[in-house]
Amino acid sequence: MKKTMATAWIFLFPALLFMVSACATTNKAKQGAMISQQIYEEVSNTVVEQITEIVKAADAGTITSVQRKTLADLSEFKKILNKYAEAHNTYITALKIAETSSTKTNDVGKQARELAIMSSQIIDYCDKLGIKLP
């Protein structure tokens, strides 16, 4: 599961670079936002499913030490994902403004760059947790 998440972010990083470089064009920015949403949903849903499974095991009294350690890692990782979701939503808001006002395109570019930086931090975080690519 962790490897899948790391792989997902490896996909997201170039996608975000694509989005940053393309942000001047609204259609391409939309495309980047769509990719960001799709990959975020893939990763976040995986995290939610895994946390739910471990919480159920805890409720049933069958949680293992490995699951407890995984839950601790997921709990930290979800903080970053929460921040990413907020940054993504801010990007969408900026994009909505850009659609109605050509003077606001800098906001879109700024937010896209923040997303790209954040995805880089997430890759670093995966490395710190020992999440290796297959």
Partner 1 sequence: MKHNEILKAALSEIAKDEGQKTGAIKLLDAFGNAAGLMLAANPAFAVVKGLLGLAKTVSAALKNTSDIDKINLDDLFVETVDEKLKKRGIDDDKIKRILEA
Closest CB to partner 1 among 49 and 106?
49
Task: Determine the Cα–Cα distance for residues 83 and 79; give it in Å rounded to an integer.
Answer: 6
DSSP letter at 134 equals -
- Helices 26-60 & 105-128 angle (0-180, nearest 10): 40
Residue 124 in contact with partner 1, rule: CB under 8 A:
no
Residue 75 in contact with partner 1, rule: CB under 8 A:
yes
Q: Which of 24, 64, 82, 101 binds partner 1 (CB under 8 A)?
A: 82
Q: Which of 4, 64, 106, 121 binds partner 1 (CB under 8 A)?
A: 4
Q: Which of 23, 24, 37, 110 binds partner 1 (CB under 8 A)?
A: 37
- Helices 105-128 & 2-22 angle (0-180, nearest 10): 160
